[in-house]
């Protein structure tokens, strides 16, 4: 039984299930219209999207991998490679890839609902599903070959399977735990920054009392399978072990030095230019050119970042505060920011959510600490910690709304829980008011 089904039974439970399903259907319609008729991803292959497609084509066709293929985590272009391998790397294959991204986007509110049912009340879960179904950032990112949508899907899938494994028994729990590990490994292949969320899912999984050692072993095996495959692929492309990606150095440099754009390489090695959309939109920082260094020389760029920190150690407090602000309020999510219509939609959504988020977190902490709510206390803390797991990325590297978007599902779930608590409080007040006797005596409402 879902945890969220306990406090509401019968007709109220079915009503909130119908509420969630209605919004999921509506969200699916929005996504189909958006991803098929208005904004199919195959028509927007440039910049980062073009890079993912190019790398996917090399994998799908068996072409010799490029040294630059190791710079970004390979999970996204490996997912793209599957439809390109099946349907070819022409327009048919790109249409298939666009449908894949559409289906992943459709899965977001479904998985958010299933996760929320196990962490908060059924009413809160229904509200969470509704918010995720109509959330403009989730819908619009489904029309770009970017890593945001796959990140959300495998992040939620991992947590849902971990929660299911904890509720299951015997070998069913072991197999579900292994599937959770596989989902976590894919999430890391798409975005290594999700490692803290993988740790949270592991903690949830290990709360299972029986079969704990077997569950841990099989979950670890499941995690290793995609991670080892990605490490082997990158090592093959680079000719040596390079880890999950090689952009950590430039990200660290961008986050702690006054950087606008970074250009590396020369005529013989080829040129690579990287930039944060936040820095470009705000026009801050300087342009750096490194003709004798390449973008994947992580140790070199980390030393440059440490030099900036050493030159102005006190100023790093302001830098970190700015990086955290850059997760939300200082820019418009990219690449939607390139299009006037999308900008008008996502800019207020992103701004209102980012401004409200600190209050949502504080109110959720207060709610999770309330007496008489033991049923949901653990679930709300899992949501809070899963949401806050984005902060180390901004502190260590830099902030960008794209980094925050995969975690928005937890913020929306917390908002759903707060709205549910408010509705519950209002209904209790109405019961108490209606129970006041004519003589002034008030019956105790349960």
Judge whether 243 and 39 are in contact, CB under 8 Å.
Answer: no
How many residues appear in the chain? 446
363 token code pair: 């109110």
DSSP bridge partners of 261:
275, 287
The pLDDT of residue 266 is 84
CA dist 121 → 5, 148, 160 (Å): 7, 27, 15
Q: Which residues contact 248 (CB under 8 A, 6 or more apart)?
A: 298, 302, 397
CA dist., res. 38 & res. 368, Å (int): 42
DSSP bridge partners of 288:
262
Instruction: Classify residue 37 by its DSSP letter.
Output: I
SS (H, E, C) 94-114: HHHHHHHHHHHHHHHHHHHHH
CA dist., res. 357 & res. 336, Å (int): 21
Backbone angles phi, psi at 341, to 5 degrees: -65, -45
The pLDDT of residue 343 is 97
Each residue's pLDDT tens digit, 133-160: 999 999 999 999 999 999 999 999 999 9
Helices (H), 206-328: 212-238, 248-256, 277-282, 298-311, 316-325
Task: Count the neighbouring beta carbons within 10 Å of the beta carbon of residue 331.
Answer: 24
SS (H, E, C) 321-372: HHHHHCCCCCCCCCCHHHCHHHHHHHHHHHHHHHHHHHHHHHHHHHHHCCCC
- Coil, helix or strand for 440? coil
Nearest to 223, CA basis, from 190, 178, 166: 178
Q: Using 70 as the pLDDT threshold, list the residues of the chain that sit under it.
A: 1-11, 371-376, 428, 430, 432-446
What is the domain partition of the chain in residue ranges? 3-245+330-432, 248-295+297-311
Token pair 């019961």: residue: 431
Judge whether 2 and 117 are in contact, CB under 8 Å.
Answer: yes
CA-based torsion, 118, 121, 126, 131: positive or negative: negative
- Coil, helix or strand for 42? helix
CA dist., res. 81 & res. 408, Å (int): 27
Task: Count the neighbouring beta carbons within 10 Å of the beta carbon of residue 437.
Answer: 8
Judge whether 422 and 229 are in contact, CB under 8 Å.
Answer: no
Instruction: Classify residue 436 by its DSSP letter.
Output: B
70 token code pair: 């190791």
CA dist., res. 179 & res. 107, Å (int): 17
């Amino acid at each position: 039984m879902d945890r969220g089904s306990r406090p509401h039974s019968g007709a109220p439970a079915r009503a909130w299930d119908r509420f969630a399903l209605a919004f999921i259907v509506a969200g699916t319609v929005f996504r189909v219209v958006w991803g098929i008729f208005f904004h199919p991803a195959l028509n927007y292959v440039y910049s980062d999207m073009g890079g993912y497609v190019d790398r996917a084509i090399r994998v799908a066709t068996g072409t010799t991998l490029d040294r630059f293929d190791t710079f970004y985590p390979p999970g996204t272009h490996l997912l793209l490679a599957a439809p390109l391998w099946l349907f070819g790397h022409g327009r048919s294959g790109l249409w298939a890839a666009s449908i894949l991204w559409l289906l992943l986007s459709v899965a977001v509110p479904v998985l958010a609902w299933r996760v929320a049912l196990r962490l908060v009340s059924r009413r809160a879960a229904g509200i969470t599903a509704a918010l995720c179904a109509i959330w403009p950032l989730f819908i619009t990112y489904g029309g770009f070959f970017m890593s945001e949508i796959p990140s959300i899907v495998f992040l939620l899938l991992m947590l849902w399977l971990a929660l299911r494994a904890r509720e299951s028994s015997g070998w069913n729990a072991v197999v579900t735990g292994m599937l959770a590990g596989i989902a976590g490994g894919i999430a890391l292949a798409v975005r290594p920054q999700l490692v803290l969320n993988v740790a949270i899912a592991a903690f949830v999984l290990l709360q299972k009392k029986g079969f704990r050692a077997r569950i841990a072993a099989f979950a670890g095996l499941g995690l290793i399978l995609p991670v080892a495959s990605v490490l082997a692929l990158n090592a093959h492309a680079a000719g040596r072990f390079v880890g999950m990606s090689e952009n950590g150095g430039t990200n660290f440099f961008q986050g702690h030095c006054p950087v606008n754009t970074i250009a590396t390489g020369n005529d013989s090695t080829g040129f690579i230019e990287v930039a944060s959309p936040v820095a470009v939109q705000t026009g801050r920082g300087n342009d750096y050119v490194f003709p004798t260094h390449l973008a994947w020389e992580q140790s070199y760029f980390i030393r440059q970042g440490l030099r900036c920190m050493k030159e102005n150690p006190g100023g790093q407090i302001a830098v970190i505060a700015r990086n955290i602000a850059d997760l939300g309020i200082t820019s418009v999510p990219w690449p939607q920011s390139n299009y006037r219509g999308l900008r008008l939609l996502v800019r207020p959504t992103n701004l209102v959510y980012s401004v409200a988020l600190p209050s949502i977190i504080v109110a959720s902490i207060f709610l999770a600490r309330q007496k008489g709510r033991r049923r949901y206390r653990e679930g709300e803390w899992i949501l809070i910690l899963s949401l806050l797991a984005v902060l180390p990325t901004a502190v260590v590297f830099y902030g960008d709304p794209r980094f925050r978007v995969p975690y928005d599902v937890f913020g929306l779930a917390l908002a759903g829980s707060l709205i549910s608590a408010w509705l519950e409080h209002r209904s209790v007040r109405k019961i108490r008011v209606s129970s006041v006797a004519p003589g002034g005596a008030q019956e105790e409402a349960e």
